[in-house]
Structure 1
Amino acid sequence: MTKIMAQQPTLKIAKLRYGGGGDWYANKTSLPNLIKFCNQHLKMNLYPEEDIVEVGSGDIFQYPFIHMTGHGNVVFTDAEVQNLRKYLISGGFLHIDDNYGLNKFIRREMKKVFPELEFIELPFSHPIYQQKYKFPNGLPKVHEHDNLPPQGYGLIWQGRLVSFFSYECDLGNGWEDQSVHHDPEELRQKALQMGANLVQYAFTSY
């Protein structure tokens, strides 16, 4: 009898390592939990751990979905700007999650990547909110910081969403182990569902 071997995961997602002093490495349990959720509920076959990829690395083109987080400063070199732009216009997708304090820095740096584009707030009817999980009111609010509603912004290149910026939301914190932030499980599930939407969108638009 022929033994059937389980299919080995070949697809991976990555966390972006960047310069400038910001804590790019924050939320250590987030992506493994999101990957597990996507494998279970979207029937994906993602490798169970995320890779780490640098902004200027040629390896960036291996990943349909790259996640970026942090609280502080971000600085892209000229070479990194060109590499990230090439990645995004070639079909890649960057999710930027403001972990509180990232906003002004990432807007400045992404303007270098796409000087001709502006982040625009996406309508709740956008496909990013209409994947497997429906979010008719946009992003879930995971953590409170400045008493502002969560907002989802996008950079749209030639009609395609290439980068999604979750602001005043702390989406990645919601993906963490429950023991990290002690968020209610219902809220964690909403955060994971929205994260799954992002991954599903990135993989189907790649």
Structure 2
Amino acid sequence: MSRLILFNKPFGVLCQFTDKGTEGSARPTLSQFVDVPGVYPAGRLDLDSEGLLLLTDDGRLQARIAEPRYKMPKTYLVQVEGDAGEESLKALREGVRLKDGLTLPAEAERIDDPTLWPRDPPVRFRKTVPDCWLKLTIREGRNRQVRRMTAAVGLPTLRLVRWAIGEWTLDGIAPGEWQDGDVGRLR
């Protein structure tokens, strides 16, 4: 039977079990949080992003979750610098032109500040520049895609939290914690 783990990746943690970076870098890795043999990440989250990371011991399930051809929705809570108006949201909903081409349309809406854990280190705020939160759902997985999309519409990302992948969510999982997930209909 396939094993699926839902992990709330903290800011600054590498999405791998060992740090193959520079000698002596001592960056935190998944091995400091998930002591389960034989599981591997299904997809990635950048070092400076937080939130839901799925790990599994099943290669086919890993591909079903991570490969763009399956277009599994990924939902992010994004704190951006600036005041997101309808024009910016419309651009995100229609697809944004990036250096590597036009993105697929995203589901995009402005939301009230979500109730999240404090980030360590905290986001740097500027008193003279407003910020707001967006909920974005994308169905592809380009490198740093959400950050590049928000920047392309004039809203640089301050904080990025992946809240959901498909039907799996972070609900009830604290940063650095994990729980077993139900493979359900993806078997």
The two structures share one fold, judged by TM-score above 0.5: no
Higher helix share: 1
Q: TM-score, normalised by structure 1?
A: 0.28
Higher strand share: 2
Q: TM-score, normalised by structure 2?
A: 0.30
The structure with higher relative contact order (CA 8 Å, sep 6+) is 2
